[in-house]
Amino acid sequence: MPVPSRRRLARRASVGLGAAAVAFAAAVVPMSGAVAAEPGDQVTLMGFNDFHGAIGGARGLVCQVETVRAEGTPSVLISAGDNVGGSAFESAVANDEPTIDVLNAMGVDATAIGNHEYDQGIDDLQERIEPGTEFPDLAANVYDAEGNRVHEAYTVVEKDGLNIAVIGAVTTKTVGKVSPAAIEGLTFGDPVDAVNDVVQEMEAEGIEYDVLVASYHEGASANAEPGVAPANTDPIFDKIAGETSPEVDAIFNGDSHRTYHYNAPVPGQDGEERPIIQTGASAAYLGTATLELGEDGDWDIVGEPELRDTALAEADEEAGTPREECGVSNDVIANVEEIAQDAIDQAAVVGAEPVGSIASDITTSWDDSKAGYVDGIRTASAPVGNQATTKGDNRMRHSAAGDMLADSMKWYLEDAGLDGEHEVIGFMNPGGIRAELWDQAAGAEGDGVVTYAEANSMVPFGNTLNSGEVTGAQFAQMLEEQWQRSADGGEVDEGDEPFLAFSVSENVEYVFDSTRERDDRIIDIRVNGESIDPDATYTIVTASFLFEGGDNMWALSEAQDVRDSGVLDRDAFIQYLEANPELDPSFGQRQLELQILDGGEYDSEAGVDRDPVLRVGNVESQSLGAPEIETVVVDAGEHGTFEAPYAMVEDAGRLFADVTLTDWLCVPEGTEVPLTITAIPETGTEIVIDIPAFTWTSGGAPEECGADGGDDTPTPPPGDGDDDDDQGGDDQGGDDQGGDDQGGQGGDDQGGDDQGGQGGDDQGGQGGDAGTDDEQTVVTPVDDTTPGDTTAGGSDRSDLARTGVSLGGMVAAISLLSLAGLGALGLRHRLTRS
């Protein structure tokens, strides 16, 4: 049986033992718990997180808060951070002062500090925000250069004779989410370790409290059903749930904008549970948990924690139905409503100004938990309520909204004459997109009209638009860094989004393979249709935040000649809207995934004839209004057109098209074959990638290629000659499809040296001469009986083996030409077979 904690011993002494026992307990351990509570006493803990200036939702939130308070149980109201920053226009236009006033009026008792509280720098937090809040702002895990805490670590709130202690902590990911200049000199330590340290410090100092709450601006990476722990967790959340001190009676989470509420086991306390709650974002829910003091001195959860929906029914204007009122009415509600409405009214004057127009919704990506296809069109699963706070926000997928903003940056720099001599590339981070552009009018402006408020809400952070110079190699690394990593190159927490989909402007397209090793995933990049030059200079235009290493863009932080355009990203966006009326969303993809399931094999002597198979993904847009992709087409020009249905691959949990390439064996040696990848229905996706011709190594060519299958053998057009052979016999794919043709993407070429310095000779324009393949070829036999090493170069990865496709006797010939800094751009590597 576990040994009770010192605090629980003290509690038991205070409520269940005699005076002598109390005196004895006090003599051996500090009395950290207050003695006011008696068995049967209850306290209700209320919490919310990531308010983000959503004063339009304040009325519903305070309604729920006052409903709980009216029930008579002592209660506290706790925020888990990000009260301000990334805010709705009504608050952002007034520098979030209305939000501070609203939360003060609501009676918030304590808040953890969130990463957005640092948006305008530590001085702004300490000199404006903290003095402005009538409640303590807590962060136990933030330290200065000398190792001292920068903020208050905890507070003790007295409610009806009960003392409720609250410890706050902020996510360590603040270093990647905030401009480094804003937090210079600060260190963000492990939040769980910091909370546990504070628990010990409070006990050592004899701080009296009845209930202890940890408010973490950190949380799980997935939603969960009521009463169920999030399934898709990560190390930091697992540590929060499993290693936060057993002295802590309840845990509130934030930052990840997820919803879950359940009772979790207390570590080291058999049979004991405590609530863990996160409430989404933007005042969507109020989390509540009621605790009761038991005879054993422990505060036990009463029933299950709850998420109380803050939405209030709107009036039915046609029927004349009045708006449903809150179930309670008091001065707190009235005061919150007045502050919020005044701010909304003042912002409305400025915000109602039209700044552009759109032809239909332009949104972020909506994953399958929020949207699906209705009559072949991506449609929200539930009706859109508050347009200002409703969004898809799948940051792991590129979106129509992100592409539009990247285009606006490029357009502004060029229109303002600030572009200089180099090609300009717009670059937009998904976390910077805070709202959607809705076609349906939110007010009296009319459908399709974009107002100043709506444009501001989409990009509310007030970053200046900067430009800087990078090499092609550095830009390739920027794309690699979409797969997140820390400043020292280490892995980020698994619970973080492992991939952040940065949008690029319309002059850029690229191909990647997510199954390859990190920094070896970008296969091919083209700028204006030409292969990127690793040594050439390109101008990147984006928010100043990213040039400082924000969102873990470490390669971009090394850009040269960084210049401030002198305009806010919002204002550049507004000018773009004004210059492009009736703007349509673009559902064409500027990047797609290409894997090799089977490199194919042909050996007439052995009787082997197997077609190569390309797996193509990320062809569909998840933005609302996008068409449902039915078919992927790979066009090899005179050498054939191939297609496959775009469908869910259950093992991968994603949509892919597995395209089998046929009629491929007779492509003459030395031929560069451009593959054009498109989709049906047509969305504008058209990505081209080159692969070289196949070279026979043994077994002879199929008869239809000529008597000797030599280099001079002409290539019959697809379908000419013997149709049976052409479609199903030797001509079916064999070596030709995955051999040298498949270049750096197929068979063993799937990893290891295959990625070869970003393109090797075959990359054309990316270094080397596409005509010198033979000089760069290394042939490595593959033992298809060994599952552990099926990639050229001796890697222990097996991208192909995971597909369950037999590689047979495929041999990879790897281009070894290394391009400094590029890692691996080249698809066009040569495959041969024995």
Q: What is the pTM of this model?
A: 0.60
- Res 81: pLDDT: 97
Q: Is the pLDDT of residue 43 over 70?
A: yes
Band of residue 662 on the pLDDT scale cut at 50, 70, 90: confident
- Secondary structure (3-state) at 784: coil
- Res 694: pLDDT: 52
Helices marked H in 391-541 — which ranges? 400-415, 452-458, 472-480
- Res 6: pLDDT: 36
Q: Which of the residue ranges 7-16, 228-237, 788-797 would you say has the lowest mean pLDDT?
A: 788-797
- Res 322: pLDDT: 46
Share of the chain above pLDDT 90, in %: 58
- Secondary structure (3-state) at 201: helix
- Res 179: pLDDT: 77
Within 13 A of 126's CA, how many CA atoms are on the CB side? 11
Share of the chain above pLDDT 70, in %: 74
Q: Which of 323-337, 376-390, 469-483 has the highest mean pLDDT?
A: 469-483
Tell me the mean pLDDT in the region 441-457. 90
For the segment 666-718, what is each residue's pLDDT rounded down to a tens digit?
666 667 789 999 999 999 999 999 876 554 444 445 566 654 444 443 333 33
Q: Which of 434-443, 591-600, 616-625 has the highest mean pLDDT?
A: 616-625
CA angle 45, 9, 267 (to 5 degrees): 60
- Nearest Cα neighbor of 226 from 257, 260, 252 is 260
Q: How is 616-680 classified by DSSP, letter by letter?
A: EE--S--BTTPBPP-EEEEE-GGG-EEEEE-EEETTTTEEEEEEEP-S-TTPPTT-EEEEEEEEE
Q: Is the pLDDT of residue 498 over 70?
A: yes
For the segment 352-370, what is each residue's pLDDT rounded down to a tens digit?
899 999 999 999 999 999 9
For the segment 196-211, what is each residue's pLDDT rounded down to a tens digit?
999 999 999 999 999 9
Q: Is the pLDDT of residue 834 over 50?
A: no
Helix or strand holding residue 89 (H, E)? helix 89-92
Helix or strand holding residue 77 (H, E)? strand 75-79
Q: Which of the residue ranges 36-45, 113-122, 383-392, 730-739 would you say has the lowest mean pLDDT?
A: 730-739
- Res 733: pLDDT: 35
Band of residue 472 on the pLDDT scale cut at 50, 70, 90: very high
Q: Is the pLDDT of residue 51 over 70?
A: yes
Amino acid at 403: D
- The number of beta carbons lying within 10 Å of the beta carbon of residue 575 is 18
Contact call for residues 300 and 249 (beta carbons, < 8 A)? no
Burial 776-796 (b: 16+ CB within 10 A, else e): bbeebebeeeeeebbbbbebe
Q: Is the pLDDT of residue 583 over 50?
A: yes
Q: Is the pLDDT of residue 162 over 90?
A: yes
Tell me the mean pLDDT in the region 460-483. 92
Q: Is the pLDDT of residue 252 over 70?
A: yes
Band of residue 319 on the pLDDT scale cut at 50, 70, 90: very low
Longest Cα–Cα distance of the chain, Å, equals 106
Tell me the mean pLDDT in the region 821-831. 28
- Res 31: pLDDT: 35
427 vs 553, more confident: 427
Tell me the mean pLDDT in the region 623-652. 94
92 vs 635, more confident: 635
- Res 350: pLDDT: 86
For the segment 297-315, what is each residue's pLDDT rounded down to a tens digit?
899 999 999 999 998 865 4
Tell me the mean pLDDT in the region 232-256. 93
Band of residue 598 on the pLDDT scale cut at 50, 70, 90: confident
Residue appearing with tokens 């502004």: 412
SS3 content of the chain, % helix, strand, coil (to 5): 25, 25, 50
The tokens for 64 are: 């729920």
Band of residue 824 on the pLDDT scale cut at 50, 70, 90: very low
Q: Is the pLDDT of residue 568 over 50?
A: yes
Let me know how many helices (H) and strands (E) the chain has, helices first: 19, 40
- Res 709: pLDDT: 40
Burial 677-709 (b: 16+ CB within 10 A, else e): bbbeeebebebebbbbbbbbbebebbebbeeeb
- Res 739: pLDDT: 35
Sequence-separated (6 or more) residues with CB below 8 Å from residue 798: 787, 788, 789, 790, 791
For the segment 170-187, what is each residue's pLDDT rounded down to a tens digit?
999 898 788 788 899 999
Band of residue 611 on the pLDDT scale cut at 50, 70, 90: confident
- Res 519: pLDDT: 93
Sequence-separated (6 or more) residues with CB below 8 Å from residue 834: 697, 698, 779, 781, 809, 811
Query: How far is the first Cα of the chain from the last one, in angstroms, to the nearest whole number?
Result: 66
Contact call for residues 628 and 677 (beta carbons, < 8 A)? no
For the segment 512-549, what is each residue's pLDDT rounded down to a tens digit?
999 999 999 999 999 999 999 999 999 999 998 899 88
Q: Does the N-terminal peptide bond of residue 692 adopt cis geometry, omega within 30 degrees of 0?
A: no
d(CA 94, CA 773): 62
Tell me the mean pLDDT in the region 418-433. 95
Amino acid at 474: Q
- Secondary structure (3-state) at 64: helix
Tell me the mean pLDDT in the region 252-267. 95
433 vs 758, more confident: 433
Q: Is the pLDDT of residue 323 over 60?
A: no
- The number of beta carbons lying within 10 Å of the beta carbon of residue 18 is 9
Q: How is 683-695 classified by DSSP, letter by letter?
A: -S-EEEEEEEPP-
- Res 607: pLDDT: 77
d(CA 207, CA 31): 8
699 vs 105, more confident: 105
- Res 231: pLDDT: 87
Q: What is the DSSP letter of 430?
A: G
Band of residue 474 on the pLDDT scale cut at 50, 70, 90: very high
Mean pLDDT of the chain: 79
d(CA 828, CA 834): 20
How far, CA to CA in Å, does 781 sit from each of 605, 608, 770, 818? 18, 17, 24, 22
420 vs 30, more confident: 420
Q: Is the pLDDT of residue 411 over 70?
A: yes
Sequence-separated (6 or more) residues with CB below 8 Å from residue 404: 362, 583, 585, 586
d(CA 776, CA 670): 14
Q: Is the dihedral of CA 52, 54, 60, 62 positive or negative?
A: positive
Rg of the chain over Cα atoms, rounded to whole angstroms, equals: 30
- Res 608: pLDDT: 77
Band of residue 338 on the pLDDT scale cut at 50, 70, 90: very high
Q: How is 736-763 classified by DSSP, letter by letter?
A: HHHSGGGTTSSGGGGSGGGGHHHHTGGG
- Res 18: pLDDT: 31
d(CA 518, CA 167): 37
CA angle 275, 281, 282 (to 5 degrees): 135
Amino acid at 803: T
Tell me the mean pLDDT in the region 416-422. 91
For the segment 123-150, what is each residue's pLDDT rounded down to a tens digit?
999 999 999 999 999 999 999 999 999 9
Tell me the mean pLDDT in the region 582-596. 96
The tokens for 363 are: 């949104």
Tell me the mean pLDDT in the region 726-741. 36
Q: Is the pLDDT of residue 9 over 90?
A: no
Burial class (CB in 10 A: 0-12, 13-18, 19+), 305: buried
d(CA 35, CA 716): 92
Sequence-separated (6 or more) residues with CB below 8 Å from residue 345: none
Tell me the mean pLDDT in the region 163-170. 98
